Structure 1
């Protein structure tokens, strides 16, 4: 389950209630994403709070953009989060789809590439391995709780990006807009082949989609409102055109059927993305999760 970090008017009590409801439920992971030029909570600061508010679930960033950060400071912050959470951190990484985020922090847009991402990952892995990145008395710490650092996932929807990440990522943290399981499985096949060719263990296969529970028209309108707000860098008429077929809206039984279809193609995790900050959604989804085979 993803935190409602892209919803408006959030505060600490709302975020804490979501974190604790997810941790208390049958969910395997709690996720949240990063944006800069938006009014969402800052992702690394939130990591510290989530580590304190939860005890069980894995914490997954879906996704951070390393090129928006100094890689040494990012490695230090993530190692701290891994330590505070008792080794429960998984880090989803991507290049980001918004130039405005790069501009907001003065990052070089020329680094918005998979090569730029891989370069940042290489620095972070050096830090997590205890290697000195400068002539300091001791290496940059603290050491992460997990040996070799947090598990890393690549946030992507394309086969070329998947192949390029096989050398450093432990799996995928993708997104499906239309919930087409045949297309998703084709991407999984690319990952399986690329990881095998690179001599890596089988990749973790995760995807995500927006969801709304309830009456069909009302739930679909909720998804539409969310997309209008979240996709504010895209002309509104384009968002309106894609909204009827983007994400999922419907009843609990219908959601269960969709989740089973993703399980059938070998999906390890589906990261559900809420389109409302109403924590009742968490409880309603939790009630059906145990029925997924």
Structure 2
């Protein structure tokens, strides 16, 4: 989501991530701003890596056709050799992105419930249009990948408990309480939904290990949220501080304490040091 990224930058990132102590590589979906297409970028990552999982975080599903997303996910699973084990889905809060794609913002919560069912039908090989046969390539598993809900509020988490396999919880500054509260809501919702397994716990936070990191972190978060207005953008940008090795280690400890099974580290710059220094930090952390 940084302006000026080119092919060489991306290839260097993919190869460095794949050779490091990392579990997965990810990309988010955003329409406005200098953003690459998430599906195309993850396809490149799938083709250029051998070890890490490929994890979209996340598809704003109600902006799209469920059939098209299901085909894309199955294709990414094929390109990666079956390394697409988890996919995060969310409702999205940027009405402007919906408008740009000609999608309806209203009713997106209820719409996604049906879309998830459609996607699983596609992956199972069921006909969507009678007499026309299955759609898309056959994935590594007929049930498709595990689906994580990128949800925040109690009502949306409650709704997602009916179909999701876990929760992708976000804390911009990697705070224990924020992550733990989200997982507690998920645990309770899964129990009320009479789910047999506990929800998978994935978290995420912003960071930078680049020089002059705090300013770069502020600028990144401000630019990312500028579409919501300058007051919200400034408030969020002022709330993040993971711009040093000690700060990142603390956020990782927080995520572990909150019960994260996996955490996505979202860098504020496109500098390769973000991965190289993080790899070194993780190896020392053990």
> TM-score category by the smaller chain?
over 0.9
Question: In structure 1, the residue corresponding to 2:242 is in which secondary structure?
Answer: strand
Question: In structure 1, the residue corresponding to 2:106 is in which secondary structure?
Answer: helix
**Match runs of 1:94-109 below 5 Å:** 94-109=90-105
Q: Spell out, residue by residue over 1:13-55, the C-alpha distance to the aligned partner (whole angstroms, 9 max, x if none).
A: 1111111111111111111101122321111112211110111
Deviation larger for 159-168 or 174-183: 174-183
What's the counterpart of residue 35 of structure 2?
A: 40
Question: In structure 2, the residue corresponding to 1:110 is in which secondary structure?
Answer: coil
TM-fit CA distance, 1:12: 1.4
What's the counterpart of residue 201 of structure 2?
A: 205
Could you state the TM-score of these two structures normalised by the residue count of structure 1?
A: 0.91
What's the counterpart of residue 3 of structure 1?
A: none
TM-fit CA distance, 1:232: 2.5
Pairing 1:243–2:243 present: no
Number of aligned positions between the proteins: 284
Q: Do the aligned residues in 2 keep the contact of 1:212 with 1:250 (CA within 8 Å)? A: yes
Question: In structure 2, the residue corresponding to 1:61 is in which secondary structure?
Answer: strand
Q: Structure 1: 5+ residue runs without aligned partners?
A: 1-5
What is the distance in 2 between the residues matched to 1:102 and 1:254?
35
TM-fit CA distance, 1:72: 0.9
Q: Do the aligned residues in 1 keep the contact of 2:169 with 2:183 (CA within 8 Å)? A: no
Pairing 1:86–2:81 present: yes
1:269 to 233, 238, 262: 262
What's the counterpart of residue 15 of structure 1?
A: 10
**Match runs of 1:110-125 below 5 Å:** 110-113=106-109, 115-125=110-120
What is the distance in 2 between the residues matched to 1:228 and 1:185?
25
What is the distance in 2 between the residues matched to 1:86 and 1:235?
42
What is the distance in 1 between the residues matched to 2:285 and 2:123?
36
Structure 1 residues 183 and 175: alpha-carbon distance in aligned structure 2, compared to 1, 3 A threshold? closer
What is the distance in 2 between the residues matched to 1:20 and 1:112?
37
1:64 to 59, 62, 67: 59
What is the distance in 2 between the residues matched to 1:169 and 1:79?
18
Could you state the TM-score of these two structures normalised by the residue count of structure 2?
A: 0.93
What's the counterpart of residue 290 of structure 1?
A: 283
Give RMSD over aligned pairs: 1.7
Q: Structure 2: 5+ residue runs without aligned partners?
A: none
**Match runs of 1:206-225 below 5 Å:** 206-213=202-209, 218-225=212-219
Question: In structure 2, the residue corresponding to 1:263 is in which secondary structure?
Answer: helix
TM-fit CA distance, 1:292: 4.2
What is the distance in 1 between the residues matched to 2:129 and 2:115?
16
Structure 1 ranges of 4+ moved more than 4 A: none
